[in-house]
Chain A
Amino acid sequence: MSAMLEIADLHVGYGKVEAVRGVSLSLDKGRIVTVIGPNGAGKTTLLGAAMGLLASRGVLRFEGADLHELGVEDRVERGFCLVPERRELFGEMTVGDNLILGAYSRRKDAAFVKSALDGVFDRFPRLAERRRQRADTLSGGERQMLAIGRALMAGPRLLLLDEPSLGLAPLIVRDILRIVATLRDTGVSILLVEQNARAALETADYGYVLETGEIALHGAASDLLNDPRVMATYLGGATE
């Protein structure tokens, strides 16, 4: 049995500094896997390397294909999509245009683009209301919705989510993670990178704890939630 995404002994460096040192993780189809860890642990670097935005060494396979041989755009065409921490929206363009461009890799399939757009508007009615508004006029939560919506427009099979809760109010975080959980039901697998450990572990099936560029701990999300070490460091010591 081979995993949908397989990362083994991955090294990513900026110049001489290695931000990710020998990370291995795997994700099976239909699963939500989360990588939690403190600021600066290398979470965003890990996703950047998986997406091909950063150069890396090590095993990086998606559905059996060696990702090192594929550019960022080729990965998108294969349904491997990233929602980056910085959202990277097209600020001067309308919400509608952002979404239509999200389906750029599927532009030849007009029927798909239309149904994907309807799907996103169903999931995020707020975006439908604001479709003619410029993306840079949206609130933080709406921007995150737009970033996720734009990625969904590509018809992803695996979605990499980088800190979707960053800078958002707790209520909106819960909304967004609830939507993330429902994405799995539509056949999208998810790799969720989060600093908000409790929310992430409550959403995910399996978790990895990343510390200073290395995997410190991994296990079923429910086990990690009750693991005293995780509790002490990331969950503020509080238990249910």
Chain B
Amino acid sequence: MTPDIALILTVDGLANGAIYLLAGLGLVLIFSVTRVVFVPFGDIAAFTALTLAAFQMQRVPGTIGLVAVLAAVASLMELGAAVRRRSADGLAQRLFGYGLLPLIPCGLAWLIAARDVPEIVRIPVALGLALPMGPLLDRIAFRPIADASVLVLLIVAIALHFAIAGLGLLFFGPEGFRTTALVDGIFELPGGLVITGQLILMMASAVLLAVLFFLFFERSLIGKALRATAVNRTGARLVGIRPERTGVTAYLIASALAGISGILIGPSTTIYYDSGFLIGLKAFVGAIIGGLVSYPVTALGALFVGVMESFASFFSSAMKEVVVFSLLIPVLLWRSLALAHGGDEEHEELDG
């Protein structure tokens, strides 16, 4: 291997790592606030890419139906809950949030689907369809079992992934799609390294979003409330922070990250109905490196996974997944050793 190739592989790896970074931040966010390992995260990313591909082929994407059905189920559940409580307090607000708001992107998508509209319209609409998916899945699948153990939540999340991927096969068919490039242009750097505009866009977006993410959590009250819920759930409730509300916020932000990752990865990787799982799983490796709690370490871990994958596919394309997932073993060993010495501070909230 020459230094040139190593440089190309690194740049390529960092670009893919940028996607894993966004996904990793989303996974850590949802886990730390709600204790759910949100396996369907990758599916939302893949569906967003496939939705955009459908728009580009001027077809009606099945995601519209999916979001509409989820919204209907969530509304019915809210009605059922209100009947059981025998109180309509806040029902209108919740029906608006779960039943009506998600229909807005559905309607927009329906309008533009079969038309020749510019990309600048298609991308926000595809993202708009991604946004309600996280909160709706949360309301339908996770809210009723919010107090269950992490393991039960994980099993439900895996089941949810298979259900969604199955629907993906129904909506988008078995063939894969690539979306058209978001930016054209190839840049030649002084060293002779050639880099595409697409790669630059991926990396720049990840950096920008990571900075926004950081500012949101450090500066805004909502961001602080999310962190507080993650750090100490009982303490958060005692100051009046409602865990369900912070949960919705976390899912909304994560859905946005998933949608953006899908849009960014679409032009450089062929996406199938079930591609989301692997994206999510690789981001999960990054998140595990960060112990599912630390955002900065997750970000570094995700970039590392991307670079590893890129080098592994150069040496042996068939083995690249093996190499990436083998990373988990030393990381888990190291973490379990670190935890054994670090005491049990993380379990503080469990017996409030």
Q: Which residues of A contact B (CB under 8 A)?
A: 51, 53, 71-73, 76-77, 81-82, 84, 86-93, 97, 100-105, 107, 150-151, 153-154
Q: Verify if B94 is at the interface (C-beta below 8 Å from A).
A: no
Distance between B340 CB and nearest chain A CB, rounded to angstroms = 21
A107 and B238 contacting across the interface, CB-CB below 8 Å: no
Q: Is B352 an interface residue (CB 8 A)?
A: yes
Interface string of B221-251 (1 = CB under 8 A from A): 1001101100110111111111000000000
A20 to chain B, nearest CB (A): 17
Residues of A within 8 A of B231 (CB): 90-93
Among A86, A93, A151, contact of B228 (Cβ-Cβ < 8 Å): A93
Shortest distance from the beta carbon of B231 to any chain A beta carbon, whole Å: 5
By a CB distance below 8 angstroms, the chain B residues around A102 are 239
Contact assessment for B352 and A107 in the assembled complex, using a CB-CB cutoff below 8 Å: no
Verify B221–A104 contact, CB threshold 8 A.
yes
Question: Per a CB cutoff under 8 Å, which of B227, B237, B241, B242 touches A93?
Answer: B227
Interface of B is mostly: helix
* Chain A: minimal CB distance from B216 (Å): 14
Interface residue from B221, B242, B352 paired with A88 (Cβ < 8 Å)? B352
A-side contacts of B352, CB under 8 Å: 53, 84, 86, 88
The answer to whether A76 touches B238 (Cβ under 8 A) is yes
A93 to B232, CA, bound (A): 11
Which residues of A are found within 8 Å of B237, using beta-carbon distances?
53, 72-73, 76
A153 contact set on B, CB distance < 8 A: 239
A90, B228: Cβ atoms closer than 8 Å: yes
Can you name 5 A-B pairs with beta carbons within 8 Å?
Answer: A73-B241, A84-B352, A89-B232, A92-B227, A97-B224
Q: How far is the CA of A183 from the CA of B343 in the complex (A)?
A: 37
Measured CB to CB, the closest approach of chain B to A31, in angstroms, equals 22
Check A84–B232 contact: CB distance below 8 A: no
A107 contacts across to B, CB distance below 8 A = 221
Shortest Cβ gap from B203 to chain A (Å): 29
Q: In the complex, what's the smallest C-beta–C-beta distance from A2 to chain B, in angstroms?
A: 24
Q: Are B228 and A73 in contact (CB under 8 A)?
A: no
Chain A residues with Cβ under 8 A from B238's Cβ?
51, 72, 76, 81-82, 84, 88, 151
Q: Given A53-B352, A104-B225, are A88 and B234 also a contact pair (CB < 8 Å)?
A: yes
In the bound complex, do residue B240 and residue A90 qualify as a contact, i.e. CB atoms below 8 Å apart? no
Chain B residues near A90: list those with CB within 8 A: 227-228, 231-232, 235-236
Find chain A residues with CB under 8 A from B232 CB: 88-91
Chain A residues with Cβ below 8 Å from B242 are 71, 73
A84 pairs with B240, CB closer than 8 A: no
Tell whether, in the assembled complex, residue B228 and residue A76 are in contact, meaning their CB atoms are under 8 Å apart.
no
The CA-CA distance from A9 to B235 in the complex, in Å, is 28
Interface residue ranges of B292-339 to A (CB < 8 Å): none
Closest to B345 in A: A91
Bound-state CA distance A180–B134 (Å) is 45
Most chain A C-beta atoms within 10 Å of own C-beta, residue among B228, B241, B348: B228
Shortest beta-carbon distance, A49 to chain B, in Å?
13
Given contacts A73-B240, A76-B238, 15 further A-B contacts (CB under 8 A): A53-B237, A71-B242, A76-B237, A76-B239, A86-B352, A90-B227, A90-B235, A91-B231, A93-B228, A93-B231, A101-B241, A102-B239, A150-B239, A151-B238, A154-B239
Report A-chain residues with C-beta under 8 Å of the C-beta of B241: 73, 101, 104
Q: Which chain B residue has the least Cβ–Cβ distance from A106?
A: B240
- On whether A100 and B221 interact (CB within 8 A), knowing A53-B352, A73-B240, A76-B240, the answer reads yes
Whether A104 and B240, one on each chain, are in contact in the complex, defined by CB atoms closer than 8 angstroms, is yes
B238 to chain A, nearest CB (A): 6
Cβ B235 vs Cβ A104 within 8 A: no
Q: How far is the CB of B224 from chain A (nearest CB, A)?
A: 6
Residue with the highest number of chain A CB atoms closer than 10 Å, among B224, B235, B241: B235
CB neighbours (8 Å) of B228 from chain A are 90, 93, 97, 101
A residues less than 8 Å from B235 (CB atoms) = 84, 87-90
A83 to chain B, nearest CB (A): 8
* Chain A residues within an 8 Å CB radius of B225: 101, 104
Please encode chain B, from 40 to 83, with 1 for each CB lying within 8 Å of some chain A CB and 0 for all others. 00000000000000000000000000000000000000000000
The distance in angstroms between the C-alpha atoms of A100 and B218, with both chains bound, is 13
- Inter-chain CA distance A76–B352, complex, in Å, is 17
Instruction: For B351, give the chain A residue with the smallest CB separation.
Output: A86
Contact with A105, one of B224, B234, B239, B348 (Cβ below 8 angstroms): B239
